[in-house]
Homo-oligomer: A and B are copies of this chain.
């Protein structure tokens, strides 16, 4: 969904985001930019104390920051104990998601008994299957295909060009980015007379509330029951979620990570980019799996895990360092071998 641009005074902004304003109340904020490229009218944000020199030099009209750096701010300061959250709120205030144009585009195709809330928008070239229900203020983007028997919660944003299989259920305020596929066939195969043969996949996908599915990501439907993504879980682009997985709530899964079938990911787990999890694995709540790692057995204890097969991060770092020292080890061994050789001779 496109966003509009709605300027505000520093005072209005402070009120909207719950920050304390120090400095000119009537500073007029029309945009947002990084500290070092911000100019007149821009709001900026100090993400990291290391960037303090940039704060002193900024030409922004206002900056969101924590109280500990207030004295370095050359312009209106919006002081917050949680500057990152304040920043997110400020962007929502300055660049609100465009209003929907409620209704059903004349090129959209709807099956029988579809229910579309009068406040929802079904955009051009969308296709909605029979008996699907679309709740208030949901947006079905252009070219998106929603299968029959789906339920789309209020305030969802789906598409463009996304695909939802039959009977998918999407909770309130979910965001499904372009090209994502929910409910594709799980990769369940049997062997029949020596050839691979599909096992029918008759389950579905359920997203709880506030879930994000990134562009081009795929979440397979359950084999018999559900693949479920818990409340608040955010999934990046080109991620694969296998059939029967149970994810979250509040997990973060980065780009190109892959979960095989029947993985259970506890609350608040973080999977970094290009990581993978083997089938039927359970991962304890609060676990972090680092980039490119591969989880091959249950993780019962929260922590940071790396490598393939996965191991505690500190051990992985130690082993990587050791590997890069192997040649020294070999050299020392050879030195020892040479020392030994004459000494044995001398001893004879």
Could you tell me which A residues sit within 8 Å of B by CB distance?
A: 2-3, 32-34, 37, 82, 84-85, 87-88, 91-92, 94-95, 105, 107, 109, 123-125, 127, 129, 141-143, 145, 147-149, 160-163, 165-167, 175, 177-179, 181, 184-185, 187, 189-192, 194-200, 202, 210, 212, 214-218, 220, 224-225, 232-234, 236-238, 240, 242, 250, 252, 254-256, 258, 260, 273-274, 276, 278, 291-292, 294, 296, 308-309, 311, 315, 318-320, 322-327, 329-330, 332-333, 336-337, 339-340, 343-344, 346-347
A25 to B344, CA, bound (A): 80
Closest 8 CB pairs of A and B: A184-B215, A163-B178, A91-B200, A145-B160, A127-B142, A109-B124, A322-B326, A2-B166
Question: Chain B contacts of A165 at CB under 8 A?
Answer: 2, 178
Report whether B344 and A343 are in contact in the complex, using a CB–CB cutoff of 8 Å: yes
Q: Which of B197, B225, B294 contacts A88 (CB 8 A)?
A: B197
Q: Which of B84, B161, B166, B329 contacts A329 (CB 8 A)?
A: B329
A200 to B45, CA, bound (A): 13
Question: Chain B contacts of A333 at CB under 8 A?
Answer: 329, 332-333, 336
Question: Who on chain B is nearest to A254 by CB?
Answer: B187
Q: Which of B147, B178, B187 contacts A255 (CB 8 A)?
A: B187
Given A177-B185, A315-B324, A326-B322, are A92 and B200 also a contact pair (CB < 8 Å)?
yes
Question: Chain B contacts of A191 at CB under 8 A?
Answer: 84-85
Question: Who on chain B is nearest to A188 by CB?
Answer: B88
Report whether B177 and A179 are in contact in the complex, using a CB–CB cutoff of 8 Å: no
Question: Chain B contacts of A167 at CB under 8 A?
Answer: 2
Copies of this chain, tallied across the complex = 3
CB distance from A105 to the nearest CB of B (A): 7
Question: Chain B contacts of A242 at CB under 8 A?
Answer: 255
A27 to B316, CA, bound (A): 55
* Listed A/B pairs (13) with beta-carbon separation below 8 Å: A32-B224, A88-B198, A107-B109, A184-B216, A195-B210, A196-B233, A196-B234, A196-B250, A242-B255, A254-B260, A256-B256, A336-B340, A346-B347
